[in-house]
Amino acid sequence: MLEIATSSGKSLICLKMSGELDISTVDQFRLSVERLPDGLTEVDLDFFGIEFVDSTGIGTLIKVMNDLREREIRVMVIRIPKEIYEVFDLLSIPELMGEESFECLD
């Protein structure tokens, strides 16, 4: 189960995500991102409430980030819980997508 709360601004939107980013919730995540209005310059994906991920969830995250970048929208994954960041690190996701786009909670 995944809950996504959107806090909107003019050019920046933050998607506060909580629950599980996995095969059962990736469509919901993708849809949320696709529905974002045009004219944005930055999207923050707040992972504070994410408890679990799976390979489909991570694959979708990479795809979403690449899609947003193609639309010239800066994307940041913020407040990543340490355990989730460990998984990202095992897959070298920050290295692949740019360390500066990932912000881990200490």
Interacting residues with another protein (CB under 8 A): 20, 22-24, 51-59, 62, 81, 83-84, 86-87, 90-93, 96
Q: How far apart are CA 64 and CA 17, in angstroms?
A: 14
Q: How far is the CB of 89 from another protein (least distance, A)?
A: 10
**Strand 2-7, strand 12-21: pairing:** antiparallel
How is residue 99 annotated by DSSP?
G
Q: Which is nearer to another protein, 12 or 56 (CB)?
A: 56
Q: Which is nearer to another protein, 40 or 102 (CB)?
A: 102
CB-based contact 15:6 (threshold 8 Å): yes
Q: How far is the CB of 70 from another protein (least distance, A)?
A: 17
